[in-house]
A and B are shown apart, each in its own frame.
Chain A
Amino acid sequence: MSFKNAFDSGKFVVTAEVGPPKGTDIKEMLHHAEMLKGKLDAVNVTDNQSAVMRICSMAICKLLLDMGLEPILQMTCRDRNRIGLQSDLLGASVLGIKNVLCMTGDHPNAGDHKEAKPVYDVESVQLLGIVNSLNNGKDMMGNEMKGSTNFFQGAVVTPEANPVEPQLMKFEKKVKTGAKFFQTQAIYDIEKFKEFVKFARKFPVKILAGIVLLKSAGMANYMNKFVPGIRVPQDLIDEIKAAGKEGALDAGIKIAARHIKQLKDEKICDGVHIMAIGAEDKVPAIMERAGLL
């Protein structure tokens, strides 16, 4: 079943992330992908995440496709101008990649090539519009194309951004320019998340809650301090602390599974996007405990 059909079927959709490595040794990544095969509705392949140079998302999407997984091509506006983006979208389309996640992308300053020229010729809202026009047989300049794309396109949103109003205005713009699904920044406070969903439900889009696996109390504190738009409540940090060093990862898995189960049981959103960041092999365990396998 395609990613889009999974939403349409009304099932609780589950996606996870695969990060292409730096270098050509893809054994470990393929091993993770193999573990996820048959369990997920789609696999999100990051695009030079955190502005750290790695294998391009498109190549890995194609490999996953050949393995029988359903890839989502992440596309940032950091490294390619409008010609490059459109050309890559057409390329992805002929390779059989059906889903694309449009984002602005972390600034090169965050990564390992700080001297790079940031491109941002267009940005996420505009990229969604571009996908829309390619889907309708025209490039962004209105030139007719021989054959159109047929992408199912999505975007990201940070429900806990502060201030949140401009973020929600941008969310609406993304809906208007064609986003069909949204993947959120990591959420840890389900009650607060419900407020966002109440707003988002006014629009005909699918919402995947971002679930980032907490691997230690230190990681939670770090994110609270340094990652914009992520807020791990103190009681969760205490829960991980109480589990001790040995039990921290397990406590993190338990929390993730508990949140997923609640989101599903209470039908709060349409699914989840699990980001295990370096512990991709734990995704099946999270799903199992959430009652998804």
Chain B
Amino acid sequence: MIITAKRDLQELMENIKNYKSFFLIGCSECASLCATGGEPELKAMKETLDAEGKKITGSFVAKTGCQVLGTKVELKPFKDAIAEADCILVMSCGAGTQTAVELYEDKPVYPTNDTLFLGNMTRLQMFDERCSLCGKCILDKTGGICPVTACPKGLLNGPCGGTNEGKCEVSPDIECAWVRIYNRMKRINKLEDMREIAKPKDWSAHKKPMKLNIREKKEEAKK
């Protein structure tokens, strides 16, 4: 899921200091699990803005904020409340924020969160980054542990000189990705595979902005 964190309140207040009324949009998926854009957070935001003397014209927790069409339909009943607001605050990820930008072309839209990474939820409200969406997966070569993400340098051919009793030179809080891969390969009897020299990564596999149109692909296949 997409991991978000609340932005510094002062920064947010600075962004919206010239507006008086707001419509809030949250998201029931990732942002709810990250406690940045579910019902309780929207409620807290209302209280905060109230205390600052701002007006809330309405609020809604979208089912899936990154789904443009679905969110558009869901927000139809709030047309007036949104029209009344000077500005929309989106309490989900950067993608959700830009859904609102697309839907309300004439309205200022501000994010209340910073969008951090694609995360695995390890326990409730605990998240780890394990995949950084590089576009060409190499997990088949690394025992299923991603060095592109788990190694701060994204090294592909083994540990750097900074590896330290299983920890990473960058921080003792990070397990060295390559020691993890080494241990895993040993365990699954694949250590010999670690001798294979990995070629430089093809970064053109992740050319921004990425796009995927499965529909078009299906139609092409039919032809």
Contact = CB atoms under 8 A, between A and B. Distances in A.
Contact of B153 (A120, A156, A170, A228): A120
B199 interface: yes
Interface of A: 78, 82, 104, 106-107, 109-110, 118, 120-126, 129, 140, 156-158, 161-163, 165-167, 169-170, 172-173, 176-177, 185, 228-229
B169 A120 contact: no
Contacts of A122: 200
Interface in B160-176: 160-166, 169-171
Please give me the 4 A-B residue pairs with the lowest Cβ-Cβ distance, nearest first: A170-B158, A228-B164, A125-B157, A158-B161
B194 interface: yes
A120 B151 CA distance: 11
A126 B199 contact: yes
B96 interface: no
A122 B163 CA distance: 18
Interface string B119-138: 00000000000000000000
B195 interface: yes
Given A122-B200, A123-B157, A165 B152 contact: no
A118 B152 contact: yes
Nearest to B155: A123
Interface string B201-217: 10100000000000000
Contacts of B160: 104, 123-124
A106 B200 contact: no
Contacts of B153: 78, 104, 107, 118, 120, 123
B197 A176 contact: yes
Contacts of B182: 163, 165-166
B66 interface: no
Given A107-B169, A123-B156, A161 B195 contact: no
Q: From DSSP, what is the main secondary structure of chain B's interface residues? A: loop
Contact of A169 (B156, B194, B199): B194
Given A122-B200, A140-B200, A163-B182, A104 B194 contact: no
Given A165-B182, A229-B162, 6 more contacts: A106-B162, A107-B162, A125-B156, A126-B200, A161-B159, A166-B194
A203 B186 CA distance: 24
A228 B169 contact: yes
B155 A104 contact: yes
Nearest to A171: B158
B179 to A, nearest CB: 6
A169 B162 contact: no
Contact of A161 (B155, B157, B163, B194): B163
A165 B169 CA distance: 18
A83 to B, nearest CB: 12
A115 to B, nearest CB: 14
